[in-house]
Amino acid sequence: MRVTCKINGVDRTADDVWAGESLLYLLRERLGLPGSKNACEQGECGSCTVYLDGTPVCSCLVAAGQAAGREVVTVEGLGGEDGLDPVQEAFLRAGAVQCGFCTPGLVVSVHDLLERSPAPSDPEIREALAGNLCRCTGYEKIMDAVRLASASREER
């Protein structure tokens, strides 16, 4: 089948999409956007988190066809032309990136958290990110990154 949707502000079309393919596969293998990651294929790890019509979803759990006619924003679409999104900048500066496999999904999840709650408390941060696994950092510097991103968004 043919799937057309808006991705990071641009209309994109993929042909020959098999009905069993996920949105994650569509993004990674058909549309050249491998930033969203493939770590569990069952919505446990959050590495594939993207916005679908403004709501964060695990793109591995969304069929490619379900995205037809809708708007998707991936980690590749968060930064502006003038550089990184404050969340991306904060992850870099806080040392919250080690292997980086969880980072794209976490960046999207944190972006969403701060849109909803610009100055979250520590328990609020932990609850919001409970669906994003990280195997390297023990999450301490991810907490730092969220606090830093929150502060720098406020400054803007």
Partner 1 sequence: MSTTTHLGLAATAVDGIGASPPRPDGRLKVTGEFAFSSDLWADDMVWGATLRSPHPRARIVSVNVGPALAVPGVLAALTHEDVPGSKRYGLEHADQPVLAFDEVRYQGEPVAVVAADHPEVAARAASLIEVEYEVLPPVVDPETAVLADSPRVHEGRPNLLRHVPIRKGDPDVTAEVVVSGVYDVGMQDQAFLGPESGLAIPAEDGGVDLYVATQWLHVDRSQVASSLGLPPEKVRFTLAGVGGAFGGREDLSMQIHACLLALRTGRPVKMVYGREESFFGHVHRHPARMWYEHGADRDGRLVYVKARILLDGGAYASSSGAVVANAATLGIGPYDVPNVVMDGEVVYTNNPPCGAMRGFGAVQACFGYESQMDRLAEAVGVGPVEIRVRNAMKTGDLMPTGQVVEGPAPVAELMRLVEEKPPAPAKSDFLPGGTANTTRGEGVVRGVGYGIGIKNVAFSEGFDDYSTARVRLELVGGRPAVLIHTAAAEVGQGLVTVLAQIARTELGVSQVTIAPADTNVGSAGSTSASRQTYMTGGATKAACEAVRERLFARLDAPGLRLSDGQVLDSGGRLVTSLGELLGDEAVEETVEWRHRPTSPLDPETGQGNAHVQYAFAAHRATVDVDLELGLVRVVEIVTAQDVGKAINPDAVEGQIHGGTAQGLGLALMEEIQVRDGKVRNPSFTDYLLPTIMDMPPMRLDILELADPHAPYGLRGIGEPPNISSTPAVVAAIRAATGAALTRVPVRPEHITEAVC
- Which residues sit at the interface with partner 1, rule CB under 8 A? 18, 20-21, 28, 32-42, 44-45, 47, 74-76, 78-79, 84, 88-89, 91-93, 95, 97-104, 107, 122-123, 125-127, 129-144, 147
Nearer to partner 1, 41 or 112 (CB): 41
Q: How far is the CB of 11 from partner 1 (least distance, A)?
A: 20
C-alpha–C-alpha distance, residues 135 and 127, integer Å: 18
Nearer to partner 1, 70 or 126 (CB): 126
**What does each C-alpha distance from 153 to 29, 111, 112, 114, 146 come to in angstroms?**
33, 10, 13, 9, 10
Nearer to partner 1, 69 or 80 (CB): 80
